[in-house]
């Protein structure tokens, strides 16, 4: 019997199993012995079989009573009291062969750990994958029970402290985080994929104090059931959409795009080019200094001003993908050239340069320029700077790593009494490999086509893919290794460490790690290309900032968009026409679907949706406006959910410095971690490590408003030049 024939038989058998939600003690686990296992192919790193079953786990937790005598408590600055919590409910949903088999439920953390192991041991494969949506939260509550019953993890990858991506145990269970795979909350994931079961929002009271011996109401059972049932259905749909096996399912959403790129790149010998032009370790370190993120900045002269003009937002259509298609990048190995000046670099358009720029007596050519480009945090040295929210207005001396694209913008904005470009390296520029730009362009075409259909599922998938292309290019070649401590111990230096702490593991040798990265077969995209993509997008945004009439004004930039009034539509048209010209120069064009034209890179405005009758800025990632379409106030404040707009009480005058966005109103929560060995509290609840989620207030600060005169009266601490 072939595996395919066996699969059909197993599928038919499980389709006869009537799905139900059941207490974990009442389930017949022998049903699971007929689950098939998969034998991974194409990689020598897998030496085991994987059970072909989708499993999603989840816990619900409760605060302990504030009056409990034996719990840890913590008084917070906001006035709230954080206190230990415990697991009060859990579910595990199991799905195989596109059929929901069962959802198991219980109360105690020890029983969910026992049940997970029982499920694994009921099947024949060596390994079982079990997902949690937002695993860092559930893992913290369960970790001590797992370690006590299963032993310490064999392997664990943490993206940062308290954020494990996966955890592997010696018993064959591997925990994974489906939130990292989906890139969105469970409710949105289920809605986007249109699975049968959706999150039962509103049927669980999170403020209720619960014990581990209470019976669940019908609503409560439905809530905890749908959390994991929707999860396994989303996993199944994801496998189907991306045509993956369980063993080839990546850990994160960008893994899907990376797999596509690797397959296509392999057909075009992409690794050969990679080996030929990959930077040395020293060059890679320099490139990390050249790299900068998106440009988010507010007009310093309009801080805290209530603007009653019609403010419009112009947004680039797929900014980074456009840059990948139309501009030229370093396409040979970098080589050293002599120290030089600005003119030498800017008059060599066929070459990419990276270098350390040294500037003496730096100042803006136009004191009133509102979007200064020099970034203080990227300077390796800066003396006596005058800053505008992290951007340099003037300085006596700077040292900063740049490339020729950044230099073009900086030279246009700033003047220097003296300067030097040192540590200069250059490489010939050309378009990115055709196989890669074709891949990006085809993603865009398919996204355009799907935008005019009712196929919301594949549209969201395609949108995620095209957004992930840039992320692949700037993936760090050397990753930090962050270790979770499983036990209390004292190190050789006499420093005490507690279980649950995280620490960065010192690398044996960064050079050795980088060499491993270069030799890894699947690595075919070059970090320097991501650096230049960001610089080109940075230059495009500054060019967009010039598209205003004499009576117009730019108020805010947000990486790939500009907010302001008095836009000059002739200048916008000229900018957009140039985008099309650049596309055609590399053999691409607009995409026409159903009579509608889509053009990569152009500055677009969506009438009503992107128009505001009132607008106010307080600084980077801190702005608000009254939307023309719905008449409501909308906010963008880093760290505050969008619904925090209701705190303004429909009055934009309230959006001002020191305003408090109350956590109870915004839904913003802070995580308070408690560590504890396993114990039974005075009400009989099993307890160990826990997290309390408390409302988090946010106090709005703002960039100080500037007047031109401030440039001449700024008080600075004078530093001498003896060390230069």
For residue 141, what pLDDT is reported?
A: 96
Total Cβ atoms within 10 A of residue 438: 14
The pLDDT > 70 percentage for the chain reads: 94
Report CA torsion sign: 706, 712, 717, 718.
Answer: positive
For residue 582, what pLDDT is reported?
A: 98
Tell me the per-residue pLDDT of 111-123, one tens digit each, with 9 for 90 and over: 999 999 999 999 9
For residue 290, what pLDDT is reported?
A: 97
CB 402 within 8 A of CB 374: no
Three-state DSSP class for residue 367: coil
Confidence of residue 45 (pLDDT cuts 50, 70, 90): low
Q: Which H helix or E strand runs over 585? A: helix 569-585
CB 277 within 8 A of CB 433: no
For residue 42, what pLDDT is reported?
A: 59
* Residue keyed to tokens 């500009």: 562
Cα separation, 373 vs 398, in Å, equals 13
For residue 485, what pLDDT is reported?
A: 85
CB 344 within 8 A of CB 603: no
Of 69, 5, 156, which is closest to residue 483 (Cα–Cα)?
A: 156
Tell me the per-residue pLDDT of 505-534, one tens digit each, with 9 for 90 and over: 765 578 888 998 999 988 999 999 999 999
| Alpha carbon of residue 401 to chain centroid | 25
Residue 298 predicted with pLDDT over 80: yes
Residue 77 predicted with pLDDT over 90: no
Task: State the burial class of residue 565 (Cβ atoms within 10 Å of its Cβ: 0-12, 13-18, 19+).
Answer: buried
Q: Which H helix or E strand runs over 270? A: helix 270-277
For residue 2, what pLDDT is reported?
A: 63
More confident residue, 80 or 368: 368
Residue 707 predicted with pLDDT over 60: no
Residue 715 predicted with pLDDT over 60: no
Tell me the per-residue pLDDT of 161-196, one tens digit each, with 9 for 90 and over: 888 999 999 999 999 999 999 988 999 999 989 999
| Alpha carbon of residue 114 to chain centroid | 34
For residue 469, what pLDDT is reported?
A: 83
Tell me the per-residue pLDDT of 436-447, one tens digit each, with 9 for 90 and over: 999 999 999 999
Residue 718 predicted with pLDDT over 60: no
Residue 290 dihedral angles phi and psi, to the nearest 5°: -75, -35
More confident residue, 36 or 603: 603
More confident residue, 470 or 635: 635
CB 382 within 8 A of CB 398: yes
Strand duo 128-132 + 173-177: pairing? parallel
Cα separation, 75 vs 355, in Å, equals 50
Confidence of residue 639 (pLDDT cuts 50, 70, 90): confident
For residue 721, what pLDDT is reported?
A: 32
Cα separation, 560 vs 557, in Å, equals 7
Task: State the burial class of residue 553 (Cβ atoms within 10 Å of its Cβ: 0-12, 13-18, 19+).
Answer: middle
For residue 501, what pLDDT is reported?
A: 84
Cα separation, 560 vs 564, in Å, equals 14
Helix pair 254-267, 456-473: axis angle to 10 deg = 70
Contacts 24+ apart (CB under 8 A), 536-539: 536/323, 536/327, 536/405, 537/294, 537/316, 537/319, 537/320, 537/323, 538/292, 538/294, 538/295, 538/373, 538/405, 538/406, 538/409, 539/405, 539/406, 539/408, 539/409
Total Cβ atoms within 10 A of residue 124: 13
Three-state DSSP class for residue 524: coil
Of the candidate ranges 38-42, 474-478, 681-685, the one whose mean pLDDT is the lowest: 38-42
For residue 13, what pLDDT is reported?
A: 74
Confidence of residue 1 (pLDDT cuts 50, 70, 90): low
Beta strands in 432-532 (DSSP E): 482-484, 489-490, 496-497, 502-504
Extract the tokens encoding 685: 């609840």
pTM exceeds 0.75: yes
Confidence of residue 712 (pLDDT cuts 50, 70, 90): very low
Of the candidate ranges 288-297, 477-486, 643-652, the one whose mean pLDDT is the lowest: 477-486
Strand duo 81-83 + 128-132: pairing? unpaired
For residue 442, what pLDDT is reported?
A: 94
For residue 136, what pLDDT is reported?
A: 93
The pLDDT > 90 percentage for the chain reads: 67
Residue 592 dihedral angles phi and psi, to the nearest 5°: -110, 120
Residues ≥6 apart with Cβ < 8 Å to 715 = none
Of 484, 498, 337, which is closest to residue 423 (Cα–Cα)?
A: 337
Residue 15 predicted with pLDDT over 80: no
Tell me the per-residue pLDDT of 446-465, one tens digit each, with 9 for 90 and over: 999 988 888 877 887 788 78
């Amino acid at each position: 019997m072939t595996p395919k024939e066996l699969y059909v038989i197993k599928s038919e058998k499980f389709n006869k199993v009537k799905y139900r939600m059941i207490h974990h003690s009442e389930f017949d686990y022998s049903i699971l012995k007929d689950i098939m296992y998969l034998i991974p192919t194409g990689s020598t790193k897998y030496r085991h079989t994987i059970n072909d079953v989708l499993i999603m786990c989840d816990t619900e937790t409760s605060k302990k009573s504030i009056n409990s005598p034996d719990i840890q408590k913590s008084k917070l600055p906001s006035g709230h009291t954080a206190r230990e919590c415990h697991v009060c409910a859990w579910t595990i949903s199991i799905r195989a062969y596109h059929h929901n088999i069962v959802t198991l439920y219980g109360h105690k953390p020890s029983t969910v750990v026992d049940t997970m192991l029982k499920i694994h041991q009921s099947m024949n494969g060596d390994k079982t994958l079990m997902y949690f949506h937002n695993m860092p939260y559930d893992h913290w509550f369960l970790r001590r029970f797992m370690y006590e019953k299963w032993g310490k993890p064999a392997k664990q990858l943490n993206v940062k402290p308290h954020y494990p991506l996966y955890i592997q145990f010696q018993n064959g269970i591997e925990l994974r985080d489906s939130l990292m795979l989906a890139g969105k909350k469970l409710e949105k994931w289920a809605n986007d994929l249109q699975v049968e079961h959706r999150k039962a929002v509103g049927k669980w009271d999170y403020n209720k104090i619960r014990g581990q011996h209470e019976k669940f109401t019908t609503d409560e059972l439905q809530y905890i059931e749908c959390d994991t049932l929707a999860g396994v259905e989303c996993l199944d749909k994801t496998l189907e959409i991306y045509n993956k096996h369980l063993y080839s399912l990546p850990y994160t959403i960008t893994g899907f795009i990376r797999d596509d790129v690797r397959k296509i790149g392999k057909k075009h010998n992409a690794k050969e080019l990679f080996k030929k032009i990959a930077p040395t370790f020293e060059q890679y370190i320099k490139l990390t200094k050249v790299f900068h993120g998106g440009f988010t900045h507010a007009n310093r002269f309009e801080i805290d001003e209530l603007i009653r003009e019609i403010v419009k937002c112009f947004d680039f259509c797929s900014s980074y993908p456009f840059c990948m298609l139309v501009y030229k990048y370093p396409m040979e190995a970098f080589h050293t050239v002599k120290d030089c000046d600005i003119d030498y670099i800017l008059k060599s358009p066929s070459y990419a340069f990276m270098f350390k720029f040294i500037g003496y007596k730096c100042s803006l050519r136009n004191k009133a320029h509102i979007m200064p480009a020099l970034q203080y945090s990227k300077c390796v040295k800066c003396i006596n700077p005058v800053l505008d929210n992290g951007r340099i207005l003037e300085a006596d001396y700077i040292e900063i790593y740049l490339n020729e694209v950044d230099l073009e913008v900086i030279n246009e904005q700033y003047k220097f009494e003296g300067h030097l470009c040192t540590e200069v390296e250059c490489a010939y520029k050309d378009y990115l490999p055709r196989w890669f730009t074709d891949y990006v362009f085809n993603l865009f075409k398919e996204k355009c086509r799907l935008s005019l259909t009712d196929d919301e599922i594949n549209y969201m998938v395609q949108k995620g893919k095209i957004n992930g292309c840039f992320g692949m290019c700037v993936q760090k070649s050397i990753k930090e290794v962050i270790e979770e401590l499983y036990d209390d111990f004292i190190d050789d230096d006499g420093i005490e460490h507690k279980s649950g702490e995280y620490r960065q593991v010192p690398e044996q040798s960064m050079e050795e790690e980088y060499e491993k990265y270069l030799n890894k077969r699947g690595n075919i995209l070059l970090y320097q290309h991501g650096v230049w993509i960001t610089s080109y997008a940075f230059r495009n945004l500054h060019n967009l900032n010039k598209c205003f009439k004499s009576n117009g004004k730019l108020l805010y930039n947000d990486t790939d968009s500009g907010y302001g009034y008095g836009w000059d539509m002739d200048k916008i048209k000229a900018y957009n026409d140039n985008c099309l010209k650049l596309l055609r120069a590399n053999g691409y064009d607009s995409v026409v679907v159903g009579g509608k034209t889509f053009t990569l890179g152009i500055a677009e405005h969506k009438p009503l949706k992107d128009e505001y009758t009132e607008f106010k800025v307080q600084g980077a990632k801190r702005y608000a406006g009254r939307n023309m379409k719905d008449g409501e106030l909308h906010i963008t404040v880093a760290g505050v959910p969008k619904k925090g707009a209701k705190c303004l009480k429909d009055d934009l005058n309230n959006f001002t410095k020191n305003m408090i966005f109350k956590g109870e109103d915004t839904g913003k929560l802070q995580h308070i971690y408690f560590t504890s060995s396993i114990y039974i509290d005075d009400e009989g609840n099993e307890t160990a490590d826990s997290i309390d989620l408390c409302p988090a207030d946010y106090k709005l600060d703002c960039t100080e408003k500037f007047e031109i005169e401030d440039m001449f009266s700024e008080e600075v601490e004078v530093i001498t030049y003896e060390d230069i």
